[in-house]
Structure formats: C-alpha cells, structure tokens
A and B are shown apart, each in its own frame.
Chain A
Amino acid sequence: MASSCGPAWRSVCEKFRSAQHQSEVESRKDPENDPFRSKYNARELLREIHCTLKSLGGGENDEDGEAEHLQRETPGDEHRGGGGHPGDSAAGMRLARLGVVEYYLGVNHVETEELSAGEEHLMNCMNLLDKCAISRENVSVFIHVRNQLGILWAGRDEIDKAQGFLETAEAIYVRYVKEDGQPPADLTDFFMEGEYEITPQERIKRFEMAYTHTLYYLAQVYKNLDEYEKAARYCHITLQRQLQFDQFVPLEWAINAATLSQYYITKCCYMEGRHCLAAASIIANQAGELPSEAAAQESEVEGEKREQLQQKRAEIARCWIKYCLNLLQDAKKLLEDNIGELDVERQEELKRGRRREEEQEERGRKSAVLFSSSDTFDSICALEEKVSCSFPLDFEEARAIFLVGQAYVAEAKDYFQMDGHVTDHIEVLQDHSALFKALSFFEEDLERKCKMHKRRVDMLEPVCKDLNAQYYLLICRQLQFELADTYYEMMDLKLALANKQDELDAHTIKKFNHLCNASIKYYQKFLDSVRSPEGKFPEKLDEEVLRPGLVAKFRLARLHSRLISPDAPTQLQNLNRSLECYSFVVRYCEENPEARKAVETELELSEEMAGLLPLKISRLRAKMVSST
C-alpha cells in the first residue's frame, strides 16, 4: 500500500520491522535472568519512532520535504467523504500512525509487567483515535487497542471495565462490516512497504482474527460474570469463526465443540447440541488418518498420534451417548405420570402438537449459529440427519435414538477398554445400562420390558463382581445400587404380570423370589460398603450416601415383605426383617431430622408401615400358635 521514499522514512520503517522482530522472535530466546531484554530493545526502537513522528508533525510551515511527503502519503488511495479519516489529511494520517506506535508501546509495557505505563500508552492511542472516524485504515487499531485494554482491566479484577472495552470493539467491528466491509488495513501497513507489505488475504485474516479474539475474550468475561448463556453463545461464535477462517487445530476444535454440546444438552437445547456434535465428529475425522497399529509400533510420533486420535474420537462418541441418553430421559420425564408410567393422553397431545408444528413448517427456526464452513457444512448436515433432535414420543422413535446411542457405546468401548481404562469403561457401561433403562420406559409389553432390564444386569453384574472395591469403592457402590435397583424393577414387573394371573405357579414364585433375593443381596452389599473397617454401621451417614442409604433400607423393607413363602416361620422372619428396616428409616430420621428432607415419601410410608406391620406380625403369630 504505502509507497514511499526518502531515507528518513525508510529508517522509520526499518526500525519498526526491527522492533517487531525483537518483540516476537528474539524475545523467545531471552535468558531467564534477563527475560525482557528483547522487549526492552523493541521498546527503545518504538520510542525512537514515536519521537520522529512527533517531531515531523510540529507546524505546517517548517516541514522539510520528507516530512511533507510523510504527511501527504496515504496507505489507501480511496476517496471517501466524511471528516477525520486518516486518509483525508496528512494530519489524520499522522495521528493514526502515532496511535499505532502508542498501541505497540502499550502492549510492550504490558508484556514487561509495567501495567500502568502500558495502560497510559493504550489510552493515548485511544485518545488519538478519538479524533479519527472509523475507517478502512484504522478500524483494526480501534479493535486491537480495546482488546488489549479489556485484558488489562480484567487482570485488575475490574471486569465491567474490561467488558466495556470489549463490547465497544465488538460494536465497531459490526458497524464497520455493515457500513464499509472492504478489507481493512493491518496495523503493520503503516510502516511496511514494498517487499514487506502483506497480501490482501493476510490482511483480511488478521483483521478477522482480531475480532475473533474480541469474542474469545468476551466469552471469558461473560463466564467470569456468571452470564453462562452469553458465555456459551460467544464460545459458539468463536468456534464458528475459527472454522470459517480456517484458524484452528482440528482435534482441539472438535473437543471444544463436543464439550459445548454437553452444555446444550444440559439446557435441553438438543438441536444446538446435535449440531455441535455432528461438527465435532466431522472435524475430528478431518484431523488425519489414523496411523496403523504397525506404524504406531514403529515410531513414537505415529504411536502418539494414533493414541490421540483414538482417544479424542472416543471422547466425542461419549458425548454422543450422553446426547441420546438425555434426549430419551427428558422425553420420559415429559411423558410419565405421577407413578412413572407412560401417560397416554399426554403422548397423544404431544403428538398432535408436533404435527401442528410440522405443518407450519418451522424449518427456519434454527436460531443457533451454524458451523457453516462451505466444505464441511454438507457433511455436518448429513450426520445430523442420522438422529432426531426432538423428543421421541413412542417406542419406535425412542428405539431409533437408542440404537444411535448404542452404536456410539460400541465405538467408545473400542478405545476405552476395561484393561487400561477401568473407570472410563465402566462409565460407558453405566450409560449403556441407562440407555436400556430409558428405552424400557417406552416399551409397553411387560415381558419385553423385563428382558431389557435383564440386559442391564448382564452387562453390569460381571463387572461388579470383579471390580476391586479397595480401589474403586465409589464405582462399586454405584454398580451395587444400580443392580439392586434393576432387580427391584424386574421384581415389580413380575409382580404386575403375576397379578394378571389367577393362580401363581411354582415356577413364577421361584422366579419372583429369585429377583427379590438378588435385589436384597445388592442393597445389602451397598449398605455393607458404608460400614467401617471394623464392620460398624455409621451412626451418621455421609451426605453422598444419605439418600441412597435410606432408600436402600426402605426397599429392603419392601422386598422382605414381598418374599413369598409357604411356611409361616419364614414368613414371620421376613416380616420381622421388613419391620426392622422400616423402623430403621423412621428412627434415623428422628435422630437426624435433617435427613427428613431427603426421603420425604419413603419416610411417610415407613412410618405408616412401622405402625401397621406389628399388627400383621402378631396376627401371623397368633395364627401360628393356633395352628400348632
């Protein structure tokens, strides 16, 4: 842009280049005991440039030829209206140049931990620019200086000041793009010429990057202000821009997008979550071919690359699993009545609602920012289409989502194998079990429902048996509780089935008791895990086992009273055990009133049963006495 001549100006440009080199290249090699040596060199050079510019700008009359040239010369050759553009006058040009030097001086001081001096220079830059309108020449400086001031003030814990600067930078960008939109000049354009001049593409890239940084800092600012929704939006736009301008590391980007999807699914924004996940999968696949096992054995670099790619892809698969799981679970919540069963009326109503929506053809309601990098966009959309983002309303729809989830389970397990990744592997298994559990809600056939729970047992039971509780206590507890819970659910299903029969046959009774006993066994194991090494049950349950502990006792009570036994003494024994457990819950809540809140329903029923059972027991006893 800037064609120029004259030795004085050439020397200024040379100094500038040298300052850049010192600051960016040399400074990395500075010794530890003199960490800012090159930065100080750069500062000296910038100061000299500053002096030269100042002296050149004295009065209109006493300029020498070169100074006049400096003032006439403009980096752009456009003619635009409006006052105050640097391109309009030599004075404006000088101000803009001074502003840039002040900016670099400010950054230099901040980098050398002289924050106040840095702030002063940056403010000088702001003041100089104040006299100029936002134009193609200086819009970059406007944004850069505010980015820097944003960082500076955030570092001083004055986050609202930082926010102010950054939001202004954002507004300037938006306005510039709307009103002008031509590729603007870069900061270095003021002092670079000829062979050092940068290409227009590079110019655009740097300008857009400065704005991406603005958004990236704003994302952090909003997070620090606890404005999570805004922070998420800015993270999303930052990711989107990284993709658009091809400024990203594929695996890192993919993991960030996958993580963002987890934010969306916890906020019930499944369309956005799915979009992030599809993009994450596509970009992760673009991160390179997976080196073969043989290649990985050969070279350490290939080995590490293989490990990285496999791990990250497995992580993304796990994010997909959570997507499917939450979608099913949320749909279940939507559809269940107050005892946790499918509410058919609600189902019909939701289906009608969806038909209406479809009729209105609300395709355009995609309010989310889309990752629309032309090449990848189609593949992202294609992947999205493989799974729905609206709540499943019947078994068929639920099953479609379940199957997608299950495929990702297989993918995740491929990398997170039991040997080497115990915790991760089990977490994936737990999700798989949870997928089955959620799906079973949509199944109306009780027998088939029961079979789904059996699948859960089959996948968790062997692990629970083999896992060393000395090292994996918490996971063991989770597995024990879940197994107990699953058997409990199966018992309930069998009970419902049995109620339809007139007479219970021996086979059914045997099966039913088996389920009861299995559930009892795991609840008991869970409760035993809470005991001290000496075998004592704690007087006070830790917070994280308070509710599960009491629920386990409550369920044990119910299971014992459910066991079917032909002989009276066993019946009596079971009822006594049941009473014991009910009373435990009641007594515990009397002694620890703060526990009441955690188990309100269970407590109420326990109290009731602890009142009724003794009567039943004494009746049974009486019957036993009379029959002997």
Chain B
Amino acid sequence: QTAVSSGDGDSIKVFVRVRPLTQGTGLTTDGDQGMCLTVTSPNTIRLHAKPEPRTFTYDHVADVDVTQEAVFASVARNIVESCVNGYNGTIFAYGQTGSGKTFTMLGPSDSNSFTDDLRGVIPRSFECLFFLISREVERSGSCKSFLCKCSFIEIYNEQIYDLLDSASASLFLRENIKKGVFVEGAVEKIVTSAVDAYQVLSMGWRNRRVASTSMNRESSRSHAVFTMTLESKETVNEVVNIRTSQLNLVDLAGSERQKDTHTEGSRLKEASSINRSLMCLGQVIMALVDVSNGRSRHICYRDSKLTFLLRDSLGGNARTYIIANVHPGSKCFGETLSTLQFAQRAKLIKNKAMINEDTQGNVK
C-alpha cells in the first residue's frame, strides 16, 4: 500500500519530520531503543507495521538529523516569498504532543530565538519576510511601501478567543467581499520588524498558557492561528496599486486528541441526559444527505470554525504546507500511524465547490 503524493501547483503539500529519540520526554523509549519507522528516501517513510510494513509517500520526509534551516528552506521560504508577492500562504503544524511541533515551529523553549541556531520555522519566516520587504522597498526606490499587521487567535470548543486581548469575550467569524473571512473584532498589531512580530507572537503564546490554566481549557485541545496580514502599496505614475496577502501559521490541536472525534467507528451516540436533545440525529441525517449525488441540496450545519477560517488554505487559492511531526519510538506506533494517515488524507483535501454546468443541452 503506497500513498501517492499527487498533483502540483497549489495543492496542499506535506512535510513529514521525524524527531530524534531523546531521554526524559515521557514519550521516549528509555531502555527500549526500538524504532517503528525508517526514512527510506527524501519522500518516503516506511512504518514497521505487522504483518506487512507500510510505505507512505509525501512531498518531503526529513529524518532525525535534518536542520532547522533545512526545514525552513523546504517548507516556508517559498510560501513567505509568494506572500510578499501578494499570494496567501498557510503553514500547519500537526502531530502528537511531544512529537516536536513546538520545536519545529518556534525552537527550543528556553532560548532567545533570534540568535539561536535552533530557532524554528516561525522566527525564520519573520526574518525572511522582513528581509524580502526591505529588499522590495529598496528595489522600488521607495515607490513601494508595506504594512504588516498581526493577529493571534485560539479556537477552543468551536469558540474563538483573542490571544492578544485576553479580556475579550468570544469572537465571531464574518466574511467580506473584498477581504474574505476574518475574525470580527480581533486585535491587530502593527509590526515593523521580525523582532516586533516575534514579540507579538510570544505575548499571545503566554496568554494561551494563562488562559488554559485559568479557564480550565487544555491547550492541546485548541487550535492557535497566528495571522500576518501584509499590505503593499505601490505608486507608479500616480496610480496606486494595493495588494494584500495573508500568512497563517497554525498550531493544530494535538493529534492524540483528534482521535476522540475522528476514529469513532460505529459507536452509537447515546441520548444525552437531558432527554429532549437527541444530538446525534442531525449528524445521521446529514450523512444521508451527503451521500446523495447530483441534486442540489442545502445542509444546515456549518463548517467547523477552523476550516471556515482557513477555507482558502484547504484546497483554495493559497500555498499551503502541512508539517507532520512524528516520534520514531516503537511505543508511539499507534499515534505515528494516525499522524501519517492524517497527513495522507490532507493531500486529498479539496474544496468541494464544483462548477455548475448543465451536461444536457450543451451542444445545440
């Protein structure tokens, strides 16, 4: 069974990173040096499943010795570059808690991120972004100017919280014909340098921890979305040309928590204790409507907040990379398998919007 990484262009790309075995993380195989996987080529990984090993293919597979710089170069550089040129980009980090998500995205927790060689994708993206911006400004002879704004939100239990304004109540998603989907009332901080941006990020990250302890919500169950909105203004012959683009950096809820919602199999939903509400009935009906084909129908149940917010990143008009972090220890086999499977499915995510076209009466 081989997964085929398909398509080119703007479809979602998947980067799998295997973290090294270390001591004392709770996930390590102290004593047990067994590995559950082998990286067999720069884009394949073999999982030692029984009875038959399984091979998965992705856009890129990085083994334990890959450097932070190399991860940035293959995942983020392109996305940041096209962002400066006016295209939207999104980077997702996905994986089991302890598989190296934070290390990959931010770097070692106790370091000053801008001097450390081990700094992660996010600080490097900021550096790259502002380097490209200053180069553009210079090249244009200051005809071009940029405005960068950051927002940082958290989605927990289908509620949206502003991480830059911990006092705010939950926020709503809205759409605008010009600027797409956005979180209404989210704080936007203007930043002028990579250090600025990183400070905003760190502040939000701290708030996330504070909120998770004070409000009794688990950070591993919430998604965090850091959005950088880039606006460029170019004046050529008194014509002002404005372009905007977005860079979304998304820390998805720990994959071990996704299990609760996805791999339910045939389990039946029980009637809730308040007997009036048979919550699952709607889902059953929705599934029935979903399988019917051809005819046009309306489904009254909304997308999840995350997929709605990032609908363009999922099969729309954006460059999107998913970094799937896995832990190679044999104890992590189950989680690793599910992460690899998720990453494989992610490649198939396509926005379902179809072009309506009458197949009859075409040729007259």
A residues whose Cβ falls under 8 Å from a Cβ of B: 24, 150-151, 154-155, 157, 159, 162, 209, 212-213, 216-217, 219-221, 223-224, 228, 231-232, 235, 238-239, 242, 247-249, 252, 255-256, 258-260, 262-263, 265-267, 312, 315-316, 318-319, 321-322, 325-326, 329, 333, 336, 339-341, 418-423, 430-431, 434, 463, 466-475, 477-478, 481-482, 485, 492, 532-533, 538, 542, 544-545, 547-548, 551, 601-602, 605
Contact = CB atoms under 8 A, between A and B. Distances in A.
B357 A485 contact: yes
B103 to A, nearest CB: 29
Nearest to A428: B298
Contact of B292 (A216, A267, A422): A267
B288 A470 contact: no
B314 to A, nearest CB: 11
B276 interface: yes
Given A231-B288, A422-B175, A474-B316, A238 B354 contact: no
Interface of B: 7, 9, 11, 82, 85-88, 174-181, 244-245, 265-271, 273, 275-278, 280-282, 284-289, 291-301, 312, 316-317, 350-351, 353-358, 360-364
B268 A262 contact: no
- The dominant DSSP class at the A interface is helix
A326 B296 CA distance: 7
A340 B364 contact: yes
A322 B297 contact: yes
Given A235-B284, A551-B362, A259 B299 contact: yes
9 contacts: A154-B268, A259-B301, A262-B297, A265-B297, A419-B176, A470-B245, A471-B180, A548-B355, A551-B362
Contacts of B353: 474-475, 478, 544
A288 to B, nearest CB: 15
A235 B288 contact: yes
Contacts of A418: 177
Contacts of B301: 255, 259
B265 A157 contact: yes
Contacts of A157: 265-266
A420 B175 contact: yes
Nearest to B354: A544
B281 A238 contact: yes
Given A259-B286, A474-B353, A533-B85, A325 B296 contact: yes
Given A209-B275, A252-B277, A219 B284 contact: yes
Contacts, number: 204
Contact of B300 (A151, A319, A431): A319
Given A322-B298, A470-B245, 16 more contacts: A219-B281, A235-B288, A247-B275, A248-B276, A249-B276, A255-B300, A259-B299, A263-B288, A316-B300, A336-B361, A339-B363, A421-B175, A471-B88, A473-B316, A545-B355, A602-B362
A19 to B, nearest CB: 16
Contact of A423 (B175, B178, B296): B175
Contact of B298 (A162, A235, A319, A605): A319
B180 to A, nearest CB: 3
A420 B180 CA distance: 9
Contact of B268 (A217, A325, A431): A217
Nearest to B264: A155
A558 B96 CA distance: 55
Given A249-B277, A263-B292, A340-B361, A542 B7 contact: yes
A485 B359 CA distance: 12
Most A CB contacts (10 A, CB to CB) among B245, B289, B298, B363 go to: B298
Contact of A533 (B7, B87, B174, B357): B87
B282 A252 contact: yes
B285 A259 contact: yes
Nearest to B359: A547
A231 B298 CA distance: 19
Contacts of B176: 419-420, 422
Contact of B269 (A220, A256, A318): A220
A229 B88 CA distance: 43
B288 A223 contact: yes
Contacts of B245: 470
A228 B174 contact: no
Contacts of A532: 9
A235 B281 contact: yes
Q: Which 8 A-B pairs have the closest CB atoms?
A: A340-B361, A471-B180, A266-B292, A473-B317, A422-B175, A474-B353, A262-B297, A548-B355
Contact of B295 (A232, A265, A336, A551): A265
Contact of B282 (A154, A232, A255, A316): A255
A590 to B, nearest CB: 21
A224 B291 CA distance: 13
Nearest to A433: B356
A223 B357 contact: no
Given A235-B288, A267-B292, A485-B357, A151 B270 contact: yes
Contact of A481 (B297, B351, B355): B355
A339 B281 contact: no
Contacts of A249: 276-277
B361 A339 contact: yes
Most B CB contacts (10 A, CB to CB) among A209, A266, A267, A485 go to: A266
Contacts of B270: 151
Given A322-B298, A481-B355, A538 B277 contact: no
A402 to B, nearest CB: 15
A260 B285 contact: yes
Contacts of A422: 175-177, 180
A469 B300 CA distance: 26
A209 B278 CA distance: 11
Contact of B285 (A232, A325, A472): A232
A477 B181 CA distance: 18
A470 B174 contact: no
A326 B270 CA distance: 35
Most B CB contacts (10 A, CB to CB) among A213, A466, A471, A547 go to: A471
A472 B176 CA distance: 10
A247 B276 contact: yes
B316 A220 contact: no
Contacts of A482: 356
B268 A162 contact: yes
A256 B282 contact: yes
Given A157-B265, A232-B285, A466-B177, A471 B312 contact: yes
Contact of A478 (B269, B284, B355): B355
B24 to A, nearest CB: 24
A262 B88 contact: no
A157 B180 CA distance: 42
Contacts of A267: 292
Given A473-B317, A475-B353, A602 B181 contact: no
Contacts of A492: 364
Contacts of B271: 213, 216
A326 B298 CA distance: 11
Contact of B82 (A212, A339, A475, A533): A533
Most A CB contacts (10 A, CB to CB) among B286, B295, B316, B358 go to: B295
Most A CB contacts (10 A, CB to CB) among B7, B284, B362 go to: B284
B267 A605 contact: no
A79 to B, nearest CB: 34
B175 to A, nearest CB: 4
B356 A478 contact: yes
B177 to A, nearest CB: 5
A325 B295 CA distance: 10
A274 to B, nearest CB: 14
Given A220-B280, A249-B276, A548 B265 contact: no
A157 B7 CA distance: 36
B88 A223 contact: no
Nearest to A333: B360
A466 to B, nearest CB: 5
Contacts of A472: 180
Given A422-B177, A544-B354, A544-B355, A228 B291 contact: yes
A463 B175 CA distance: 14
